[in-house]
């Protein structure tokens, strides 16, 4: 979502003649868009601002603005502690970036914009055309979360659940497709809770899928309890909807899930997976896991072995200030680290075996980019697996059938099927 937000911040600032630069030393204004999910997010802000300070030591100071969830959660602290920062803007206020920049240019005092003006934000964003021209692009459809998992800052930094109007999203999707997008990933902190005046995520996906030139639709991130019947069903009938779902479970233990306030059990989760597989046997899953959550006495690997996730994101629990879990007793770090290593070894083995199973099989790959200084192109298959293929002609934006010939832990390597046929024919 920060990638989407960063692009939109740029679209707005562009109107007051700020342009992107590749070089830090050329910047008049430095916007650091932050994420609070990962550990040590605040320290990273001080570190990055330190880099800017060093670069501009003997030069005119650039405008320095911190946006995103760290600004929301710790804005006042940042402004007080690091005088080099001119403004902090929360994720629901970044539509005010131009006003902020112009005020700083006029030397006003430090600015703290951390209101939850989510309606205002999207009203303003609609005025600015989305200029993103990636083949595979993001579209924020929903923000905020009402779930209040005990470890998570999102309900405090992004606010209550909010769904954008269908018309607005259709217009922005058409606009992205006109810019060249072939694949759109619909984004939300709790994307499958999308509900605009009774229109659900499945309705929105159906509408967007009518855009002819759009080839693929994905959505992330879902909560297991918000997987409604209609959303499950659409996976069985809409070929543009990719058969790959990121479905965070967070723990394989019911005791921990309850303590996290996740509102689902391992049994519910597995039931949902089997319903989705029944409707579309091709569907694969990825998930998030927190290892060493307070109260965890042992770790179970049963769930990952059962589901055979093709990708997992796992981290040792680390407390976020202000969350209920931050008051709980933490598991010894060394023990958590050992559990994480074991978890990741198992998960990586599953992932590698899965990748190997694709060798000599065909995949449909949407190519996104040419790799610099080579004749190789990067794309993704239906399951979001990265695929690299050599080609003498431009594959960017093309959807091609690829035969997978080898792999490593993360990437598949393939040949374009029609080139193989040509070679066979010539021989």
The residues of the shown chain that bind ligand SF4, judged by CB under 6 A, are 145, 147-149, 152, 154-155, 189-190, 223
Give, in order, the Cα–Cα distances in Å from 309 to each of 19, 226, 305: 41, 20, 8
Give, in order, the Cα–Cα distances in Å from 291 to each of 48, 67, 399: 28, 29, 38
CB atoms within 10 A of CB 370: 15
Closest CB to ligand SF4 among 289 and 377? 289
Per-residue buried b or exposed e for 381-404, using 16+ beta carbons within 10 Å of the residue's own CB: bbbbbebbbebeeebbbbebebbb
**CA angle, residues 214, 217, 218, in degrees to nearest 5:** 155
- Smallest distance, ligand SF4 to C-beta of residue 180, A: 31
DSSP 219: E
- Smallest distance, ligand SF4 to C-beta of residue 155, A: 5
Cis peptide before 318 (omega within 30 of 0): no
Determine the 3-state secondary structure of 303 from DSSP.
helix
Closest CB to ligand SF4 among 63 and 145? 145
Pairing outcome for strands 362-370 and 399-407? antiparallel
Closest CB to ligand SF4 among 189 and 286? 189
- Smallest distance, ligand SF4 to C-beta of residue 37, A: 9
Structure token pair of residue 17: 């003649």
Closest CB to ligand SF4 among 136 and 157? 157
- Smallest distance, ligand SF4 to C-beta of residue 361, A: 34
Closest CB to ligand SF4 among 148 and 333? 148
Closest CB to ligand SF4 among 152 and 358? 152
Determine the 3-state secondary structure of 144 from DSSP.
coil
Give, in order, the Cα–Cα distances in Å from 187 to each of 5, 163, 205: 11, 11, 12
Closest-CA residue to 63 (of 84, 46, 35, 47): 84
- Smallest distance, ligand SF4 to C-beta of residue 153, A: 8
- Smallest distance, ligand SF4 to C-beta of residue 233, A: 23
- Smallest distance, ligand SF4 to C-beta of residue 145, A: 3
Closest CB to ligand SF4 among 69 and 85? 69
């Amino acid at each position: 979502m920060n990638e989407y937000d960063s692009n939109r911040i740029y679209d707005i600032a562009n109107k007051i003649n700020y342009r992107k630069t590749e070089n830090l030393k050329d910047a008049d204004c430095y916007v650091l868009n932050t994420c609070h999910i990962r550990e040590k997010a605040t320290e990273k802000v001080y570190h990055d601002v330190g880099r800017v300070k060093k670069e501009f030591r003997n030069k005119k100071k650039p405008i320095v603005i911190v946006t995103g969830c760290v600004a929301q959660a710790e804005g006042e602290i940042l402004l007080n502690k690091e005088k080099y920062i001119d403004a902090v803007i929360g994720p629901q206020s970044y539509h005010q970036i131009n006003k902020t920049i112009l005020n700083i240019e006029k030397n006003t005092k430090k600015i703290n914009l951390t209101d939850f003006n989510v309606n205002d934000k999207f009203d303003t964003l609609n005025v600015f055309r989305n200029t993103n021209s990636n083949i595979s692009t993001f579209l924020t459809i929903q923000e905020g979360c009402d779930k209040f998992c005990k470890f998570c800052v999102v309900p405090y930094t992004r606010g209550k659940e909010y769904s954008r109007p269908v018309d607005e999203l259709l217009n922005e999707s058409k606009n992205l497709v006109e810019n060249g997008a072939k694949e759109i990933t619909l984004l939300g902190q709790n994307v499958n809770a999308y509900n605009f005046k009774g229109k659900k995520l499945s309705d929105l996906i159906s509408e967007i899928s009518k855009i002819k030139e759009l080839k693929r639709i994905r959505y992330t991130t879902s909560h297991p309890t918000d997987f409604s019947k209609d959303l499950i069903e659409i996976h069985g009938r809409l070929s543009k909807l990719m058969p790959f779902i990121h479905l965070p479970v967070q723990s394989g233990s019911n005791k921990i899930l309850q303590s996290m306030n996740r509102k689902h059990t391992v049994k519910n989760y597995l039931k949902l997976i089997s319903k989705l597989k029944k409707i579309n046997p091709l569907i694969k899953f990825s998930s998030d896991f927190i290892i060493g959550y307070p109260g965890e006495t042992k770790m179970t690997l049963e769930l990952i072995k059962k589901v055979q996730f093709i990708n997992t994101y796992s981290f040792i629990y680390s407390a976020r200030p202000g969350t209920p879990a931050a008051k709980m007793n933490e598991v010894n770090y060394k023990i958590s680290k050992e559990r994480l290593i074991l978890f990741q070894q198992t998960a990586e083995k599953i992932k590698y075996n899965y990748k190997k199973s694709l060798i000599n099989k065909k995949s449909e790959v949407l190519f996104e980019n040419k790799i610099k200084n080579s004749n190789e192109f990067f794309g993704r298959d239906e399951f979001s697996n990265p695929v690299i293929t050599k080609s003498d002609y431009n594959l960017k934006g093309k959807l091609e059938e690829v035969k997978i010939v080898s792999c490593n832990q993360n990437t598949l390597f393939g040949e374009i099927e029609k080139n193989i046929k040509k070679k066979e024919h010539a021989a």
